[in-house]
Amino acid sequence: MAERTRRGRPPHADVLTPAEWRVVHAVQHGMSNREIARRRGVSPDAVKFHLANALARLGLADRQALKHWFRAPGHSALADPRSTAMTQEPLTGSLAQIARGVRSIEESQAFYGGTLGLRHLYTFGTLAFFDLGGTRLYLQQQDEVAGESILYLRVSDIGAAYAELGTRGVVFRAAPHMIHRHPDGTEEWLALFSDPEGRPLALLSQVLPAA
């Protein structure tokens, strides 16, 4: 008799599958199921399926609990002790990035790159990045442009900085989560919080994969 095919979640060595990790990090970044589905090119039902599986696997009650759960994926450079942080900053180091919302990414790229002459780093969909003398300018196309820019503070160990600042009373919007993996494997990790006036700040860490 032929062996019966097993159905359900495929076996995986990590606590979550790669698809579940992508959904978890998107939730921690504040995205809705519909936004995640659109960006991933999958159905909202697929997102709900992966989210439900992740909550069950992690023993978490809901989406809010998931936002503050932190662990690096087993396949991530952040989880590999051989990996190297791109900087060796103290707890909160130099300014890594400034974010601004824009109405049109094409118009803004022409202004910041052509008119102002800033060096273009790369564009990813409706996101564009320029160099400001070592600090990145991050432009994001938005339907409604907010008045405040986000300041991103560079840290070498985002997990340690997140834990330490938590003991100092900083309330994070969500746990550190990976926001981008570059073609060379470099990972970018983010954790958002606010200053006493409610203005946005973030920790940003770039981690190089082990050679």
Is residue 99 within 8 A of residue 150, CB to CB? The reply is: yes
pLDDT band, residue 198 (cuts 50/70/90):
confident
Q: Which amino acid is at 42?
A: V
The DSSP bridge partners found for residue 97 are 136, 152
- Contact 187/181 with Cβ under 8 angstroms? yes
pTM more than 0.85: no
On the question of pLDDT at 132 being above 70, the answer is yes
Give the per-residue pLDDT at 84.
63
d(CA 58, CA 154): 29
- What pLDDT was estimated at residue 93? 66
| Separation between Cα atoms, residue 75 and residue 48, nearest integer Å | 23
Across the chain, where does the E strand assignment appear?
A: 84-85, 95-102, 119-124, 127-132, 135-141, 150-154, 177-181, 187-194, 200-208
Annotated domain spans of the chain: 18-69, 78-208
Q: What is the CATH number of domain 78-208?
A: 3.10.180.10
CATH of domain 18-69: 1.10.10.10
Asked whether the beta carbons of 30 and 174 are under 8 A apart, the reply is: yes
